[in-house]
Amino acid sequence: MISVETYKGKAVTEHDVEIVERKGAGHPDFICDSLMEAISIALSSEYTKTFGAILHHNIDKGLLAAGRTAKTFGGGRVTRPMELTIGDRATFKAAGKVVPVAEIAVHAAKKWIKENLRFVDPEKHLKYRVILAPGSEELTDIFSRPGKVRSANDTSAAVGYYPLSPTEAIVLELERYLNSKRFKSRHPETGEDVKVMGMRKRDMFDITVAMPLLSRYVLSEEEYFERKDIVHKDMMAFLRTHSGVEKMEVHFNTLDERYRGLGGIYLSLLGTSAEDADSGQVGRGNRVNGLISMNRPMGTEAAAGKNPVSHVGKIYNVLSHVIARKVYEEVEGLKEVYVLLLSRIGTPIDMPQMASAQVLTDGKLRLRDVSKKITTIIEREMTNIDTFCIDLSKGRYQVC
């Protein structure tokens, strides 16, 4: 069933207050989401290579327990490694063939860490605990049923939207810049654990950034504040060039306090607070479009790590944003598009119980003139959902 209606609320840009958050690559929650997703991609690849199809798995129960470090100006050491717990369900055996699930999971996690966290040694700084187990017979049986498209393994709802507001775009682009190769080459003393919180009050933007400096590059408290000032100026220059916003304040590491030594500065040994301060968990980080936007409707599903061919908690979460963008780009006269997708367990994923597009027009457009075109776009994307799922299984869509 497809429904097209007028969105009854105001555009996000017309709200007096807007609040948007993004957790960056070194944040423990982002790490957890990314690792579980990397494992799902690796398992999907192995299942396809061995059996010609993606088999049942849901690697969406993960916990990164913080370790312990001893930091000093100029260095430090890890005194207790972080611990990564990898759960939930996977297929270990099919058609008489055994799949080395635990080995694949740990290898995928180590590979992601090595590629994304410069100073975390996946061999020395983490312990791995794999608690994956076979799935239930009924959910596993979904993958044995005939048909090109799998049945939904859950009754689940998802919502996506487009376009991003200027506040959302600023928060997203600032974090990406701070974790870019370009920025890290200029400021290697900055860690990957970046958190950006953006608040807009009417036309005034207030940005708060948390990002540690690395102890190996900082030899004194005085040097910390000198480097912090340089980094802050770089942020401001980037935002002046890329945001198009005139009224803006940027606050950086606001817990810092001079003359308190190591207790008054945000210093890190490895670049992530998971080294000794903060644990991470799947589903507590960014939504699938990379943001946590308080003024937008949000689902509660943790998409990362879920299988990409039957788990609608992942498929519909990503697809709702994809459809919203295509509706916005292909239909002139729209200000905002929201897409809601609802599955019913056991029903093929290309046949949602409800697909609802809620659109906010520019005031000139009549809904009845475009509702058929919007319906056609939704039908087209559902028809091509098998291709979408394959792309999803290969990591071609972000989920955090």
pLDDT at residue 146, as a whole number: 60
Q: How far apart are CA 84 and CA 65, in angstroms?
A: 6
Please give the structure tokens belonging to residue 15: 């709200």
Adjacent-strand bridge partners of 235? none
Q: Dig out the tokens for 312 from the structure.
A: 């609608």
Query: According to the model, what pLDDT value does residue 151 have?
Result: 85
Q: What is the pLDDT of residue 149?
A: 75
pLDDT of residue 141: 55
- The model carries a pTM of 0.95
**Token pair recorded at residue 315:** 């498929």
The alpha carbon of 276 is separated from its chain's Cα centroid by a whole number of angstroms, namely 23
Task: Catalogue the E-assigned strands of the chain.
Answer: 2-6, 17-23, 57-65, 68-72, 75-80, 82-90, 93-94, 97-98, 126-130, 157-162, 195-201, 204-210, 213-214, 248-252, 267-268, 280-281, 292-293, 334-342, 354-361
Alpha carbons within 13 angstroms on the beta-carbon side of residue 363 total 2
Output the pLDDT for position 142: 53
pLDDT at residue number 143: 59
pLDDT at residue 167, as a whole number: 97
Choosing among 1.10.10.10, 3.20.20.70, 3.40.50.10140, 3.30.300.340, the CATH entry for 12-24+166-281 is 3.30.300.340
pLDDT score, position 148: 65
Residue-by-residue pLDDT tens, the chain, 400 positions = 999 999 988 999 999 999 999 999 999 999 999 999 999 999 999 999 999 999 999 999 999 999 999 999 999 999 999 999 999 999 999 989 999 999 999 999 999 999 999 999 999 999 999 999 987 654 555 556 666 678 888 999 999 999 999 999 999 999 999 999 999 999 999 999 999 999 999 999 999 999 999 999 999 999 999 999 999 999 999 999 988 888 999 999 999 999 999 999 999 999 999 999 999 999 999 999 999 999 999 988 999 999 999 999 999 999 999 999 999 999 999 999 999 999 999 999 999 999 999 999 988 888 888 999 999 999 999 999 999 999 999 999 999 9
